[in-house]
Structure 1
Amino acid sequence: MNRDTPRPAPASPRRTRASVFLLLAVLGLAGAAYVVRRPLLMSAPACAAGRWHGCLDTFNGVVLMTVASLPLALLVAWVLARRRRAAGLPSAWRLSLAEVGMVHGTVPFVWMTMMPGGGAGTVPARVSLVPLRDLVTMGPLGIAGNLLVLAALGFFAPMRFAALASPSRILALGAGCSVLIETAQYVLRLDRVPSVDDVLVNAAGAVLAGLASRRWWRTATGTPSGPPRPAPAAAAAGRGA
């Protein structure tokens, strides 16, 4: 028997964790889509026909189009990653997924917050500036929806930009973007009530999502955050001691 046959190198723990995380994310999305499949399919005929009414002006239609466009988003991330790898840039997949994830995960929620109500353009603009007053009337579904509005931005932005890799900066980013959304609702008179509680919950959702991606945050050197690994030479010296 040839005892000198080289054995294949085991997969690195980081790559294994990334594969498991990606698999869990795909399974989670598939499970969520299965649970809400009936409401989503109500908008399928209008979306398939390219009609505005019944598709992009409804919650179900926007969610359906977001799920349907997920393969295209992954394809764009793959193309960006290949171009970065061909150019010899580090962390090609992480940066590409972060860029696509910020857009694909944020634009649909912002679109839904800008959908006009029945009295858009006719009712006077209103605003709620008393903190925590509207939080009581949101209900669990409203709170969950507001937490998700900027969650993708909070999750992926620090993975792409080292300048945003801190909870305080993610909080500022989420609050600033939420203020812009609420201001647009007020200025455009969309029959929506801009609320300071929406800003608070949107910013909280961005921070919570950002903390969930903390181990992949981009540092000033372009590498994920975390304890530095020993150099191969130093590790070999340590084993030989």
Structure 2
Amino acid sequence: MRAVLAVVCVAGIAYVLRRPLLMAAPQCLAGRWHGCYDTENGVLLMMLLGLPVAGLVVWALATARRRRAGGAGTAWRLSLAEVGMVYGTVPFVWITMMPGPGAGVVPGRVSLVPLRDLATMGPLGIAGNLLIFAALGFFAPMRFALVASVPRVLALGAGCSVLVEVAQYVLQLDRVSSVDDVLVNAAGAALAGLASRRWWRSGEGIEHRAEQVAG
């Protein structure tokens, strides 16, 4: 049932974004870097197209774990969490790290006043910032018992966001390193963690079982 719901959600997102995604389709399908991997539409399109491959990786990892340990439920949970938090995070971080037109020329800019930039983000900007570490917040507590609490998921999202903002500033990507980005990114991770709480709340000992599987 959960798999069907996930497929429906992905299909709904693809339908809503079909027009901008199709704009990058010719360049992506032709294997061109410019116009595909250096655009938000192209990265999202390739992310959607790569979902079957990600599913195969989950299946391969779960099958290998199940053969060694015999625990089908744990094997699938660990494998899905590992692939999900990487596959659902890297593309959004890639988009965030895309350089602006003045990259390398315009000095790094910092905004440290909380909530000042929030009003200028707009609904789409806020939604995008919520999604950047949502997969990490959703899946990390399912994989690592150490972060299986809302404050820790919040701290994880905030820490990763700070690293991204610092990188944007140091690399002079013509982006504003804003404290509001950190706040919204961390909130997105925490909200996603709450959404997956039913699967990690009673999952104490996952880390110990994972070590047994690896051994």
Letter in 1 for 2:32: R
Note if 1:136 corresponds to 2:126: no
Note if 1:84 corresponds to 2:65: yes
Q: How does 1:23-172 map to 2 (within 5 A)?
A: 23-90=4-71, 91-172=74-155
Q: 1: CA distance between counterparts of 2:136 and 2:8?
A: 21
C-alpha spacing 1:133/1:84, structure 2 compared with 1 (3 Å): same
Q: 1: CA distance between counterparts of 2:66 and 2:150?
A: 30
Q: 2: CA distance between counterparts of 1:102 and 1:219?
A: 17
**Long gaps (5+) in structure 1:** 1-19, 224-241
C-alpha spacing 1:30/1:54, structure 2 compared with 1 (3 Å): same
Does 144-153 or 42-51 show the bigger shift?
42-51
Alpha-carbon deviations, 1:106-140, whole Å to 9, x = none? 00000000000000000111100001100111111
Letter in 1 for 2:176: V
Structure ranking higher on relative contact order (CA contacts 8 Å, 6+ apart): 2
Corresponding residue to 1:221 among 191, 205, 209: 205
* Shift of residue 39, structure 1, vs aligned partner: 1.3
* Shift of residue 89, structure 1, vs aligned partner: 4.9
Letter in 2 for 1:82: T
TM-score (norm 2): 0.92
User: Which residue of 1 is the match for residue 180 of structure 2?
Assistant: 197
User: Which residue of 2 is the match for residue 230 of structure 1?
Assistant: none
Q: Percent identity at matched positions?
A: 73
* Shift of residue 191, structure 1, vs aligned partner: 0.2
Does 82-91 or 172-181 show the bigger shift?
82-91
Post-superposition, which runs of at least 4 consecutive aligned residues in structure 1 deviate over 6 A? Answer: none
**Long gaps (5+) in structure 2:** 208-215
Q: 2: CA distance between counterparts of 1:70 and 1:42?
A: 20
Q: 2: CA distance between counterparts of 1:180 and 1:154?
A: 16
Q: 2: CA distance between counterparts of 1:76 and 1:31?
A: 24
* Shift of residue 37, structure 1, vs aligned partner: 1.4
Q: 2: CA distance between counterparts of 1:173 and 1:62?
A: 24
Q: 1: CA distance between counterparts of 2:18 and 2:133?
A: 24
Q: 2: CA distance between counterparts of 1:120 and 1:89?
A: 51
Between Structure 1 and Structure 2, whose CA radius of gyration is higher? 1
Letter in 2 for 1:48: L
Alpha-carbon deviations, 1:67-109, whole Å to 9, x = none? 0100000000000000011012531111100000001100000
Alpha-carbon deviations, 1:170-192, whole Å to 9, x = none? 01100000000000000000000
